[in-house]
């Protein structure tokens, strides 16, 4: 006899309601058309509200991509340039400092720094990007470098990942962003970015950062050549590290950001961008599978404002920030604005019935007065 969609979802619903873990088979099933999106969203929202109530977090942030010239040729990337490309650039110290000043003038609490691996740049230059910003603008939290960069720095210096991370912290690094994760499973990773840091190296970097007490984010790039199995495998690998980290009482993953593939100007431009329903399904499944990660981010730059708003009821509790100078998605065809004002981002959240809360990178409430901003109380998240 045919089972109705409610019957198919029932065992998973029971697990979620009881606070039990979902497994690989559950996750793959949730990606099937037999599971209706509204019911899936309702379950994810249950977990989201259990953990984060009615709050929706945002920050005031600025991006810095110090160079787009890159030795790697990931097929999904529209941002990179060859050494002699006309679009290639490599920022001077003055340009980096000007970006820092602009960020501080705009009230930013965070600078998100990632970029290409320039054929001619030495490790000391990457370190200087961090130390210059930290020394001149100490109030800015520097969320910088993915494991792909940290791995490259280890190769450039002949040192370990731990050494590079400690040296970068010494220069002013505050945390790691979530990029470079793509899809961990080698069946996919070897096709879309075969040369750069593999999943073992990615996890070694985050695990070491966590051991050093740093907080980090994590991502998944979906909607290209991967299948449901690869996505769930990816989420489970993240959940496994977070289990260890929480048990040891180290830093850990704060936020997961599902990243929808944007095909324009990439080596995969024959693929259609994931649909709104696929974006919402992936957000909801991520919330349900990653039961030990406190926050889910609906990155409005990548989802579009409308889908990001709906995602706040499909598992997400964070919408990223005001964002200025974003290049990675805009080079790949994103049609979202380049920046939102604080009033706009708060309105976007309020329109969904959620309560906007400005946070800093490490999830403290931000308090502002005429003299500037300071980190207030830590944001509590229920298990």
**Which residues are at the interface with ligand V47 (CB under 6 A)?**
76-78, 146, 177-180, 182, 217, 219, 221, 257, 259, 261-262, 266, 299, 320, 328, 332
Would you say 259 or 379 has its CB closer to ligand V47? 259
In the bound complex, what is the minimum distance in angstroms from residue 146's beta carbon to ligand V47? 6
Would you say 133 or 319 has its CB closer to ligand V47? 319
Helix, strand, coil percent values for the chain (each to nearest 5):
45, 15, 40
DSSP letter (8 states) at residue 359: B
Cα–Cα distance for residue pair 320/117, rounded to 1 Å: 25
DSSP letter (8 states) at residue 272: P
Cα–Cα distance for residue pair 332/264, rounded to 1 Å: 5
Would you say 17 or 187 has its CB closer to ligand V47? 187
Cα–Cα distance for residue pair 314/204, rounded to 1 Å: 31
Would you say 172 or 321 has its CB closer to ligand V47? 321
- Tokens describing residue 94: 């003055």
Cα–Cα distance for residue pair 127/121, rounded to 1 Å: 11
Cα–Cα distance for residue pair 301/336, rounded to 1 Å: 6
- Tokens describing residue 22: 């979902």
Q: Is 223 helix (H, G, I), strand (E, B) or coil?
A: coil
What residues have CB less than 8 Å from 221, skipping those under 6 apart?
A: 76, 181, 182, 183, 259, 261
In the bound complex, what is the minimum distance in angstroms from residue 113's beta carbon to ligand V47? 11
Ranked by CB distance to ligand V47, the top (closest) residue is: 179
Would you say 22 or 176 has its CB closer to ligand V47? 176
In the bound complex, what is the minimum distance in angstroms from residue 148's beta carbon to ligand V47? 7
Would you say 16 or 302 has its CB closer to ligand V47? 302
Would you say 12 or 202 has its CB closer to ligand V47? 202
In the bound complex, what is the minimum distance in angstroms from residue 342's beta carbon to ligand V47? 18
In the bound complex, what is the minimum distance in angstroms from residue 337's beta carbon to ligand V47? 15
Helix runs in 296-367, H state only:
300-303, 305-311, 328-331, 342-350
In the bound complex, what is the minimum distance in angstroms from residue 242's beta carbon to ligand V47? 15
What residues have CB less than 8 Å from 231, skipping those under 6 apart?
A: 27, 31, 183, 220, 222, 282, 285
In the bound complex, what is the minimum distance in angstroms from residue 336's beta carbon to ligand V47? 12
């Amino acid at each position: 006899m045919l089972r109705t969609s409610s019957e198919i979802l029932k065992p998973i619903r029971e697990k979620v309601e009881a606070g039990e873990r979902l497994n690989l088979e559950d996750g793959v099933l949730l990606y099937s058309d037999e599971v209706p999106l509204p019911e899936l969203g309702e379950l994810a929202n249950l977990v989201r509200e259990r953990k984060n109530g009615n709050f929706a977090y945002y920050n005031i942030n600025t991006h810095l991509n110090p160079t787009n010239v890159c030795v790697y040729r990931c097929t999904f990337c529209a941002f990179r340039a060859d050494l002699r490309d006309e679009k290639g650039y490599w920022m001077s110290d003055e340009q980096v400092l000007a970006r820092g000043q602009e960020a501080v003038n705009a009230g930013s609490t965070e600078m998100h720094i990632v970029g290409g691996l320039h054929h001619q740049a030495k490790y000391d230059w990457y370190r200087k990007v961090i130390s210059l910003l930290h020394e001149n603008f100490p109030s800015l939290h520097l969320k910088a470098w993915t494991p792909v960069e940290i791995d490259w720095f280890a190769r450039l210096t002949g040192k370990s990942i731990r050494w590079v991370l400690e040296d970068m912290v010494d220069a002013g690094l505050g945390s790691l962003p979530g990029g470079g994760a793509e899809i961990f499973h080698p069946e996919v990773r070897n096709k879309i970015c075969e040369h750069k840091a593999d999943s073992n190296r990615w996890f070694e970097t985050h695990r070491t950062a966590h051991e050093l007490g740093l907080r980090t984010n994590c991502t998944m790039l979906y909607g290209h050549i991967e299948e449901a199995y690869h996505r769930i495998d990816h989420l489970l690998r993240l959940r496994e590290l977070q289990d260890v980290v929480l048990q040891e009482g180290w830093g850990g993953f704060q936020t997961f950001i599902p990243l929808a593939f944007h095909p324009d100007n990439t080596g995969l431009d024959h693929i259609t961008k994931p649909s709104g329903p696929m974006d919402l399904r992936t957000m909801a499944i991520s919330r349900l599978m990653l039961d030990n990660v406190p926050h889910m981010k609906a990155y409005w730059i990548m989802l579009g404002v409308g889908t990001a708003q709906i995602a706040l009821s499909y598992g997400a509790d964070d919408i990223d920030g005001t964002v200025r100078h974003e290049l990675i998605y805009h080079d790949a065809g994103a049609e979202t604005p380049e920046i939102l004002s604080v009033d706009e981002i708060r309105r976007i959240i309020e329109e969904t019935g959620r309560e906007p809360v400005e946070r800093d990178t490490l999830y403290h409430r931000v308090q502002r007065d005429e003299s500037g901003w300071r980190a207030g109380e830590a944001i509590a998240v229920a298990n």
